[in-house]
Amino acid sequence: MKTELEIALNKEFTPTELPLGLPLAHLTASRWLASILNVGRLEPRPCKIFSKNLLYFSYGGVFYRTSKLPTEQATELPVALVFSPTVMNLISQLFPFDSGALAADMFGPEWTLKLAPHGKRFCINTTDALTDARRLVYHLFESNPQYLKGIAASSGKHKEDPFPLLYEFLTTDLSSRGVDHRQRAIEAISEIPIELAKHLLWIGFPAWETSSVLKELYRWTAPVLPQFETYEYTKNFNPSEIAARLEDKAYRAVIEKYAVFPV
C-alpha cells in the first residue's frame, strides 16, 4: 500500500527539468573507520526504530550530528564520507526529514503527534531514489540552493496533502529545542552495503589518521583516490562542532558543484 506522501507525489505535476541529483553523506565516528576501510564498504547496522539492519544518509550534505557533549575520547572524532549520486541506485527508502530525530522526540510532542505514524505516511519506498529525491526537493523547496538553505517553497501550502503539513513543519522554528538542519534534510536509507571503490567522492577525518587511511583507501580505490581533507582538534573537543566543520569542507569540495544547476 502506498504511503500518503507517495500518493501525493504521484498526483502532483512534476516538470521534466528537475534539480540536479545531489551526493549522499554519511557521518560516523573514528572508532568505526578502521573496520569500514578494512572491508572497503559501509555495512548496514541494527536500527531499533525499524528493527532491521540499515544504513542512513543525508541527501546533499553532512547534516547529521553526533554528540554535543565535550569529550577527550579520540574514538568519538567524526568522520564524514560523501558518495556520488550514483549510490542512490542502492537506496530503498526516503524521508523528507530525519526519521530518527522524530522518533527520539527531538521535534517536540506536538510534531511527533502531527507527523505520526511517520513510517506509514511520509516514507517513500522507491526503486528510483535519485528521481524521487529530486522530486521531493522540487515540491518542498523548488531548487537545490533553497533545499540546502532549508527554505521551504510557499507553493507547498497549495499542493496535495500532506505537502501543506510538511510546509508547516519545515517553516516552524524549532531552534529553541536544539533542532538543527536535520529538520529540513532528506534522509536516504539503504539495506545493502555501499562499496567505497564504486561511489566514494570525498572523506574527511582526523589528521593523525592520514597515513593509515590513505593506505587502506588505496587498496580499494586505486588508481584514483577520492578527495580527502583532514582536521586538527583540541584535546577536549565537541564532536558536533567538528561535524559542522566537515559539513562546510564537504560542501566546498564536492557538493557545491551539484547544487546550483538543473539537469
Q: pLDDT digit string (tens) for 200-244?
A: 999 999 999 999 999 999 999 888 899 999 999 999 999 999 999
- pLDDT mean over 250-258: 92
- CB under 8 Å, gap of 24 or more: what pairs does 67-73 form? 67/239, 67/240, 68/178, 68/238, 68/239, 68/240, 69/238, 69/239, 70/236, 70/237, 70/238, 71/236, 71/237, 71/238, 71/239, 72/235, 72/236, 72/237
Q: Work out the percent of the chain whose per-residue pLDDT is above 70.
A: 98
Q: pLDDT digit string (tens) for 97-154?
A: 999 999 989 999 999 999 999 989 999 999 999 999 999 999 999 999 999 999 999 9
- pLDDT mean over 150-162: 97
Alpha carbon 73 to its chain centroid, in Å, reads: 25
Instruction: Locate all alpha helices (DSSP H) within the chain, ordered by sequence.
Output: 4-11, 30-39, 99-103, 109-114, 118-121, 129-141, 144-149, 163-170, 196-199, 210-221, 239-250, 256-259
User: How many Å apart are CA 219 and CA 239, to the nearest integer?
Assistant: 29
State residue 49's pLDDT score: 82
Which grid cell is 154? Answer: 510557499
Which grid cell is 44? Answer: 548496514
3-state SS class at 240: helix
Q: pLDDT digit string (tens) for 62-82?
A: 999 887 889 999 999 999 999
Is the link from the previous residue into 162 a cis peptide, with omega within 30 of 0?
Answer: yes
State residue 262's pLDDT score: 44
Sorting pLDDT into bands at 50, 70 and 90, what band is 263? very low
Are 91 and 191 within 8 A, CB to CB? Answer: no
Sorting pLDDT into bands at 50, 70 and 90, what band is 199? very high
User: How many Å apart are CA 157 and CA 238, to the nearest integer?
Assistant: 38
Task: Find residue 189's DSSP bridge partners.
Answer: 56, 93
> What is the average pLDDT score of the chain?
94
Q: For the purposes of burial, counting CB atoms within 10 Å of the CB of 192, is it exposed (0-12), middle (13-18) or buried (19 or more)?
A: middle
Are 60 and 255 within 8 A, CB to CB? Answer: yes
State residue 245's pLDDT score: 97
pTM over 0.85: yes
DSSP string across 40-104: TEE--EEETTTTEEEEEEEETS-------S-B--GGG-EEEEEE-GGGGGG--EEESS-HHHHHT
Are 190 and 54 within 8 A, CB to CB? Answer: yes
Sorting pLDDT into bands at 50, 70 and 90, what band is 257? confident
User: How many Å apart are CA 22 and CA 133, to the nearest integer?
Assistant: 9
State residue 261's pLDDT score: 54
Sorting pLDDT into bands at 50, 70 and 90, what band is 5? very high
